[in-house]
Amino acid sequence: GQNIDQPTEMTATEGAIVQINCTYQTSGFYGLSWYQQHDGGAPTFLSYNALDGLEETGRFSSFLSRSDSYGYLLLQELQMKDSASYFCAVKGRYSYKLIFGSGTRLLVRP
């Protein structure tokens, strides 16, 4: 089976940097994705890592270590609009299923 762990809640200050960690256990691994969801909204795709290392997309970066079954999402220059829930999601190697973690609720304070 698959198990995904990420913190339930995090709080950070506008302009700061925050790192949301994700660890996973899965039988066969293909890639790790990150999604953002504002209250009442739909999840939106942020990033995808299939290989070890850092992927940068504007203020957001995502990191993967396959050997450690670990990844993180780094948000820089935090803005109030970044207050949302962030989900990591794992795709197994031979699976069509994208399995989501329970999400990290991020609150950005002025």
Partner 1 sequence: NAGVTQTPKFRVLKTGQSMTLLCAQDMNHEYMYWYRQDPGMGLRLIHYSVGEGTTAKGEVPDGYNVSRLKKQNFLLGLESAAPSQTSVYFCASSLYRTGGYGYTFGSGTRLTVV
The single residue among 5, 23, 48, 65 that binds partner 1, judged by CB under 8 A, is 48
The single residue among 11, 19, 25, 44 that binds partner 1, judged by CB under 8 A, is 44
The single residue among 50, 54, 80, 107 that binds partner 1, judged by CB under 8 A, is 50
Do 58 and 77 contact (CB within 8 A), yes or no? no
16 binds partner 1 (CB under 8 A): no
60 binds partner 1 (CB under 8 A): no
Name the CA dihedral angle for 41, 42, 48, 54, rounded to a multiple of 10 degrees. 0
Other residues' Cβ atoms within 10 Å of the Cβ of residue 71? 25
42 binds partner 1 (CB under 8 A): yes
- Side chain identity at 93, as an amino acid letter? R
Cα separation, 98 vs 104, in Å, equals: 17
Residues that bind partner 1 (CB under 8 A): 4, 30-31, 33, 35, 41-45, 48, 50, 87, 89, 91, 96-103
